[in-house]
Amino acid sequence: MKKALHTIAALSCAVSLAVGLSACSRDPDTRLAVDKDGKTVVERYGQLQVIGPNLCDQAGNPVQLRGMSSHALQWHGKYANKQVLQWLRDDWNCQLWRAALYLTEGGYITAPYLKEKVVESIKAGIDLGMYIIVDWHVHRDQDPNVYKEQSLEFFREMAQTYGSYPNVIYEICNEPNGKQVTWSGQIKPYAEEIIAEIRKYDPDNIIVVGTPTWSQDVDEAAKDPIQGQKNIMYTLHFYAGSHGKELMAKAETAMQKGLAIFVTEWGTTLNTGDQFFPDKTMPWLSFMKKHHISWANWSVNNKGEDSGILVFNADREGKGNWKESDLSKSGQFMRKVLRNELKIK
Catalytic residue numbers, as ranges? 175, 265
**What's the rounded Cα separation, in Å, for the pair 82 and 272?**
29
Compute the distance between CA of residue 40 and CA of residue 93 in angstroms, rounded to an integer. 10
* Maximum distance among all Cα pairs of the chain, rounded to whole angstroms: 53
Q: Cβ(71)–Cβ(299) under 8 Å?
A: yes
Q: For residue 107, how far is the Cα from the chain centroid?
A: 19
Helix (H) or strand (E) holding 35: none
DSSP element (H, E) containing 262: strand 261-267
Q: Ramachandran region of residue 17, left (φ > 0), alpha (ψ -120 to 50) or beta?
A: alpha
CA separation for the pair 259, 268 (Å, rounded): 25
- Three-state secondary-structure class, residue 330: helix
Helix, strand or coil, per DSSP, at residue 69:
strand
List residues bridging with 137 in a β-sheet: 102
Nearest to 96 by CA among 59, 126, 138: 126
CA neighbor of 339 nearest in space, from 93, 26, 13, 25: 93
Sequence-ordered list of residues with C-beta below 8 angstroms from that of 216, at least 6 positions apart, any chain = 236, 237, 238, 243, 247, 250
Would you call 207 helix, strand, or coil by DSSP?
Answer: strand
Q: State how far the Cα of 225 lies from the Cα of 240, in Å rounded to an integer.
A: 27
Closest CA to 95 of 141, 50, 148, 48: 48
Residue 213: alpha-carbon gap to chain centroid:
18
